[in-house]
Structures are given as structure tokens and as C-alpha cells.
Amino acid sequence: MAITKRRTAELAKQVFEYAPAPESTDHIKIEPHYDLFIGGRMVAAHSKKRFPTINPATEEKLSEVVEADEIDVDKAVKAAGKAFDSWSRLAPSRRARYLFRISRLLQERARELAVVETMDGGKPIKESRDVDIPLSAAHFFYYAGWADKLEWAFPNRKPRPLGVAGQVIPWNFPLLMLAWKIAPALAAGNTVVLKPAETTPLSAMLFADICQQAELPPGVVNIVTGAGKTGSMVISHPGVKKVAFTGSTEVGKLIQRSLAGSGKRLTLELGGKAANIVFEDAPLDAAIEGIVNGIYFNQGHVCCAGSRLLVQESIAEPLLEKLKLRLGTLRLGDPLDKNTDIGAINSKAQLEKIEGMVESGVEEGAELFQPECKLPERGFWFPPTLFTNVSQSYRIAREEIFGPVLSVLTFRTPAEAVEKANNTPYGLSAGVWTDKGSRILWMAERMRAGVVWANTFNRFDPSSPFGGYKESGFGREGGLHGLLPYVELN
């Protein structure tokens, strides 16, 4: 039976009827504008240019931040360089104490951070509250534990910090990406200059406040806001010894080219086009939840999103029928509502990119499915979408969409699944759904992907390394591996 839009809407209505449950915003304070966090204080910028950051769910302006210029970036790198002398020589147990304090403050201020993260970026509050903020705190807690155990982390070697790290992060997990960057750098004795993304600078500004609250020595963390140009000033500054970048493959390649021969250490965490592979013996209902979590979590703005579903041909029909019904039950709307599953698209530019990619899918001949779904009038929105009848050559099967759009392909044999899953320039993650442990191991061995999830998807833990193969980048974040890019070993 073909599943119609009306039928999914009817079913959704029968199953769940929710009253609005918005999270309150009266406990947070967003300043009308922010300066730069340099040398332990918020300081007036040299640059007179400012730009607004908006709430993508309402298009309302939340605040204004500085577009830092060369002089501002220089000041930040010099502050970090000055702080490095004492921070790198501080007793490691004291460095740990600061990191534990930051972790505790992130927990104490979790509600405020979650609301700000949701307002600035559009992600559902249940995700910022249950995933982004707790994981950020856990990351600082984890690396605090390593700070005074570096000689155990690298036995028989002498780990030494590198100096000032220049770090540039994207907009999909603003605070979490900040934590992934700053926590290991500081634990190993480095100091940092970080540039948050243009559309989501506010949680980094709150983090600046947390650094002050934790009485972190001045200059150990510096935060400069701005656009791509400011990012490129940070990474190219001669005072920066180590560059850590998370963002698109396109910009990652540019950075690698520009740093060639500079002697700077570099790690790149870039894009992805992960395969989520479902075998005929998989627990179907669990797989449906994994597929939904894999691609619709954070509106699909996830580098490791399971954006290509590979389903074994023998179960394709029942699986798609269940999946379409499930899509009809996803609630799209106010990201601050605690029952919202799908929030706002992060920016107008990203929405246009998603729309363009979806159009290309239709033009190339794929079959589009979207459940009946009312989009709010203001803000940037895109309904949960899936494509069937997708050929591997279509753009929607090859390129990263970074939106709530799933491309479904089928396979017959495990070997064909491996072939299709690896048929991509990316290699960040993969998912395998099957009842057989031996098949999980067989598949994991053959996936050219940094992370392979088995009978689950999008699971994170600070102790577990994350990173890519091929055009998804190099270097690992998280775990013991995540310390390595921040130390020199003698």
C-alpha cells in the first residue's frame, strides 16, 4: 500500500497530540552587543565592524558581535602567547583544577546555555539540553582527568605542549565543538584563540564569561568573533603553532594549502556522507529509530549524519513503509518547545543550499517523500524528506546536503553493501544494523570510516576518538587520541 501524506498525518494525529510546552527564556540574559574576549576580559575591538546574530526560528536579531580584524586577531594571539609561558609551566594538577571548574560551571549553567544555543542556532531544546551541553561538560571533565597524567598517556615519552592553538569551528554544534577544541588543548598545556561560526557566536560569549567565573588565568582562552576572513587570520598568524579546524571540506582544503610549508601542526574535521546500512535480519523498529536519529537529529546539520540509507532489498518495502509512517509523527516547529523533534534550519543560506540539492534530486529522477507538515511562517524551515529510486550517481547520493534529507539505496549482498558504502570521497562514519555479531565485525573491518556504529547511531562519548578518512579530514578528537595533536613527544 502506498503511504500517502494524508495517511501519515492522520496516523500522527491518532498517536500523539501535544499541547505547547515552551522552555522559558526569562532566566537568560543576552547582551545587545558583545566585545572580544582577549587576555581574560571583554575588550573593545579595534575593528568597528559588527554584524547581527539572529534566531533562525523567528528571524529576530538577538545580539551583535564584532567582525574582528587583523589587529584584533594579533592582540588575541599575543595574549595567548604571553599566557602560554606560565600556563605551560603550571603544575598539571592545577591545570586540571581549572578544567574541572569549567566543567562544573557548564553543568551549573546548563539550562541557560541550552536556551541560548537553541535560540542562536535553531536546534530543538531537547537536543541542546540533553546532548550538546551535557556532552560539552563531559568533555572538559574527561580532559581534566588527563591533565596531570600526560606521562601515563604517553609512556616513556616526554609530552610537551606546542604553544598557541588557533581553532575555528562551525555552527552545527557551537558549544560542543568549542569543548572538543579547547579542553584537550588546555589539558596538554597549550593556550588558544578560537573563532566561533558567524551564525552562532553566543554560546562562545557565555563561555568567555565562564572562563572569567572559573578565574582561568588571563589569555589562556581568547575568543574572537568574525566571518571566514577572521578565521583565516587566526590560522595564518605566525604566532599560532597548531591549527584545529572543523568545517567544510572545501574550506579545509584551502587551509591545508595555505599552511603547507609553514611548519604548523594541523588537524581537519570535515564533511561526511555516511552510509547507514540495514540488513534483512536487523531489528526493524530499532533500525527505524536509528535511521531517524541518524539523519533528522539537529535537522541533519551533522557531519556524521547517516544521510545515505542502504537497505537490503528483501526488506526495503516494509522498512520504507514503517519509516514513512514514522516521519509523519515527527514534530517540526518552535525549537524552544520541549516536544519539538525538528527545529529551524540554521540560516537562510543553508536553507537555500538544501532546497537546491532537493531540486536536483527531483530533476535527476529520484522519488521525493515528505509527510504532511505545516511550516511556520517566519524563520527557516525544511520538512523531513526522503528520496527513493536514487542512483549512486545522483548529487543527493554523493554530496553532503547538511539538512533533513535522506537518500535511500538498496543492496543485495554484504559485499555490495561494502562497495556502495565506501563509494564516496568522504569517510567519517557508518552504521550497521544486523542481528549477527560476526557480520558487524566483518562490516566494521571493511568500512573506510572513522567511526562505525553497530545497531545504534550518533552515539558520542568523550573517551571515544572521532575523526575522518579521505576527504573527511585527519586527526582525532576525543579520547587519548585527541591529546596527540596538542603535544610534541620527545
53 near Mg ion, rule: CB under 5 A:
yes
- Active site positions, annotated: 269, 303
346 near Mg ion, rule: CB under 5 A:
no
Please report how close the Cβ of residue 354 comes to ligand NAP at its closest, in angstroms. Answer: 12
Going from the C-alpha of 160 to that of each of 105, 142, 151, the distances in angstroms are: 28, 19, 10
Interface of this chain with Mg ion, residues 444 to 483, rule: CB under 5 A:
none
Please report how close the Cβ of residue 465 comes to ligand NAP at its closest, in angstroms. Answer: 11
67 near Mg ion, rule: CB under 5 A:
no
Number of residues that bind Mg ion (CB under 5 A): 3
Please report how close the Cβ of residue 340 comes to ligand NAP at its closest, in angstroms. Answer: 22
**DSSP assignment of 352-369:** HHHHHHHHHHHHHTPEEE
SS3 371: coil
- For residue 302, which phi and psi values (nearest 5 degrees)? -140, 125
Residue 248 interacting partner from Mg ion, ligand NAP, none (CB closer than 5 to 8 Å by kind): ligand NAP
Residue 246 interacting partner from Mg ion, ligand NAP, none (CB closer than 5 to 8 Å by kind): ligand NAP
Whole-number Å distance between alpha carbons of 310 and 320: 11
Alpha-helical regions (H) of 24-161 = 70-89, 92-108, 110-121, 125-127, 133-147, 150-153
Q: Which of 8, 172, 191, 199 binds Mg ion (CB under 5 A)?
A: 199
Which residue, among 85, 99, 92, has the nearest Cα to 239 in the 3D structure?
85
Residue 402 interacting partner from Mg ion, ligand NAP, none (CB closer than 5 to 8 Å by kind): ligand NAP
Residues 417, 423, 428: CA angle, nearest 5 degrees? 95
Residue 335 interacting partner from Mg ion, ligand NAP, none (CB closer than 5 to 8 Å by kind): none
Residue 478 interacting partner from Mg ion, ligand NAP, none (CB closer than 5 to 8 Å by kind): none
Please report how close the Cβ of residue 242 comes to ligand NAP at its closest, in angstroms. Answer: 15
| 478 and 462 Cβ atoms separated by less than 8 Å | yes
Please report how close the Cβ of residue 159 comes to ligand NAP at its closest, in angstroms. Answer: 24
Interface of this chain with Mg ion, residues 308 to 327, rule: CB under 5 A:
none
Whole-number Å distance between alpha carbons of 2 and 436: 31
CB-nearer residue toward ligand NAP: 231 or 485: 231
CB-nearer residue toward ligand NAP: 298 or 388: 298
| Chain residues that interact with ligand NAP, rule: CB under 6 A | 168-172, 195, 197-198, 227-228, 231-232, 235, 246-248, 251, 254-255, 269-272, 303, 400, 402, 428, 468, 472-473
Residue 231 interacting partner from Mg ion, ligand NAP, none (CB closer than 5 to 8 Å by kind): ligand NAP
- For residue 340, which phi and psi values (nearest 5 degrees)? -75, 130
Find the helix or strand (DSSP H, E) in which 416 lies: helix 414-421
334 near Mg ion, rule: CB under 5 A:
no
Pairing of strands 275-278, 265-269: unpaired
Whole-number Å distance between alpha carbons of 354 and 403: 6
Kindly state the cell numbers that stand for 200.
552562532
Whole-number Å distance between alpha carbons of 99 and 221: 12
CB-nearer residue toward ligand NAP: 350 or 388: 350
Q: Count Cβ atoms below 10 Å from residue 438 Cβ, excluding itself.
A: 8
| 462 and 142 Cβ atoms separated by less than 8 Å | yes
167 near Mg ion, rule: CB under 5 A:
no
CB-nearer residue toward Mg ion: 199 or 203: 199
Kindly state the cell numbers that stand for 450.
572513522
Please report how close the Cβ of residue 467 comes to ligand NAP at its closest, in angstroms. Answer: 7
SS3 102: helix
Please report how close the Cβ of residue 400 comes to ligand NAP at its closest, in angstroms. Answer: 5
Residue 120 interacting partner from Mg ion, ligand NAP, none (CB closer than 5 to 8 Å by kind): Mg ion
Residues in touch with Mg ion (CB under 5 A): 53, 120, 199
